Amino acid sequence: MPPGNGSASMAIPVVDFSSWKNTQDEASRLRTAHELVKACQTVGFVYIINHSLPKSVLDEAFDWVKRLFNLPEEEKMRAPHPEGWAVHRGYSWPGLEKVSQTMSTGNDEEAKRKLREVPDVKVCCGLPTIIYDIGSDENTEQPNQWIPDEALPGFRTFMIKFYWECWAVGEELLRALAIGLNLEDDSYLVDKHSGHGNQLRLLHYLPVPAEDLEKERTTRCPAHTDWSSLTMLFQDDCGGLEVEDVSRPGTFVPATPLKNAIVVNVGDLLQMWSNGKCIIQLGKMRRCMV
């Protein structure tokens, strides 16, 4: 049974990308592309296994993330998130970014007011969460805010390399989607991205007492869709990610961590670009660990 099967009506599909690497076997590549599109159309989320990112690279990435967030607060604050909403780079301390203030409320000002009274616990999205955002060093509109090399030697070098390795996988996913959607040009979706507008987001969800969540003294990131074309998520063993069952709105199933797999979800832009053909209904996700 596929991981994440928490509901009789929905399981998160698993797509094996090993055959995609064999450029001589067009039939296998086409089958993989169709499997990917079907997953996007029916669930909106999919596990990608046997992709091109080695286990050693992912292990090293998680090790750097732990080392980063284990730094003293004064060291992390040497690369602070810039003021305002326009630039998303550097270190976001707990409570800085409050997703729950803007999600799921529409124009309901009273609902927004109540959400603002509840502290988020995500070091990145205003919830008990810590975030560190990275982009292309060539993106002058979103300049990186780097931890000084003397504070964490090697971090910047690795993360720049990892950023582009992730984008290489993203390109392959976009090409597979184009083929699975029967587009004449397999680079159609890739060409909508420069590679310099992507965002590499490192997240650490701080522990929160269950009672604080139950009594709404704090909150995790609420159910939401991503605004981007695709999101690639790498999970550790902690879990906590949940995905809405599109056939039963309001019902969520766990996206159980699958070692070395990438959890990919469709974003608002891809739905728009594909005229709604990339997914029947945008799936929502939320974080529910304590």
Please write down the HEC assignment for all residues of 130-189.
EEEEECCCCCCCCCCCCCCCCCCCCHHHHHHHHHHHHHHHHHHHHHHHHHHCCCCCCCCC
Place of tokens 């270190």: 91
Angle at 160 between CA 54 and CA 227, to 5 degrees: 85
| pLDDT reported for residue 9 | 64
Structure token pair of residue 230:
């695709």
pTM: 0.84
Q: How far apart are CA 222 and CA 53, in angstroms?
A: 30
Q: For the chain, 290 residues long, give each residue's pLDDT as a single digit of tens.
A: 455 444 456 899 999 999 898 777 899 999 999 999 999 998 889 999 999 999 999 999 999 999 999 999 999 999 999 998 889 999 997 755 544 444 444 455 565 455 444 444 433 343 578 899 999 999 999 999 999 999 999 999 999 999 999 999 999 999 999 999 999 899 999 999 999 999 999 999 887 777 877 777 776 667 888 888 999 999 998 888 899 888 888 888 999 999 999 999 998 888 888 877 775 445 566 665 44
3-state secondary structure of 102: coil
Phi, psi of 212 (to 5 degrees): -65, -35
| pLDDT reported for residue 285 | 67
| pLDDT reported for residue 208 | 77
| pLDDT reported for residue 283 | 53
